[in-house]
């Protein structure tokens, strides 16, 4: 299995507070991705990175920002969390932008 960890694994936060989720990999893969999974929607791409400091928006990027200051870490930030951002967040990595390997997920609840 690819070495991918996500932290925290569970988080409950209040509307309006900032939240940062961390994805850490030990595989030295170039590409990293953040998805959210919601019932009836499958997985939707939020942002992705194709190298250190190189990021781009995905399908549902509004309300989210990302940063990648080193190869192994990809941070997802909700500047001001809203209830609509309650979801399960998955990080994924890929070496050649082909198959992706996923982290264990973070369950975020915004109250």
**Interacting residues toward other proteins by CB under 8 A:** 31, 33, 35, 40-45, 48, 50, 56, 58-59, 88, 90, 92, 97-102, 104-105
Residue identified by tokens 């990809």 is 74
Return the number of the residue (13 or 101) whose C-beta is nearest other proteins: 101
CA distance 98 to 63: 27
CB closer to other proteins, 15 vs 87: 87
* Nearer residue to other proteins within complex by CB, 14 or 99: 99
Cβ-contact 51, 30 below 8 angstroms:
yes
d(CA 48, CA 45): 8
Query: How far apart are CB 18 and other proteins at their closest, in Å?
Result: 26
In the bound complex, what is the minimum distance in angstroms from residue 34's beta carbon to other proteins? Answer: 12
In whole angstroms, give the CA distance from residue 105 to residue 81: 18
Q: How far apart are CA 41 and CA 91, in angstroms?
A: 17
Minimum distance from residue 80 beta carbon to other proteins (Å):
26
Cβ closest to other proteins, residue 63 vs residue 102: 102
């Amino acid at each position: 299995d690819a070495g991918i960890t996500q932290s925290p694994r569970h988080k409950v936060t209040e509307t309006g507070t900032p939240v940062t989720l961390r994805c850490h990999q030990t595989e030295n893969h170039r590409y990293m991705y953040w998805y959210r999974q919601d019932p009836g929607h499958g997985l939707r791409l939020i942002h992705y990175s194709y190298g250190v400091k190189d990021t781009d928006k995905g399908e549902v990027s509004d309300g989210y920002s990302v940063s990648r200051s080193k190869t192994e870490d990809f941070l997802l930030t909700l500047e001001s969390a809203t209830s609509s951002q309650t979801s399960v967040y998955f990080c994924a990595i890929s070496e050649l932008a082909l198959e992706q390997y996923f982290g264990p997920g973070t369950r975020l609840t915004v109250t």
